[in-house]
Structure 1
């Protein structure tokens, strides 16, 4: 699902991102995880169900 904005969401960037400009930010929203491009904070937002996000993170380990 694609949304725009989500003002007031508690966005955070990974500590592994450093100070680089190309980062992904995430925020918990209801029962989903929102993601956005840090270079475009007012641009599109992708929402993933929490279970899908957890599966994605486990696959990275």
Structure 2
């Protein structure tokens, strides 16, 4: 198997999720996963750790 390297500056951004119940999702990520709510300028809920944004929740999504 041949391996390839990637640039050292390569990274992964925050996970973005559409959720039907923003309050419930917030409680899960805050209380069970241990993430901290971060400042948000809109309806989305931003959570992270050590000041780094890791999850963005978009509430009020419709069920498929």
Where is the helix percentage greater, Structure 1 or Structure 2? 1
TM-score (norm 2): 0.32
TM-score (norm 1): 0.33
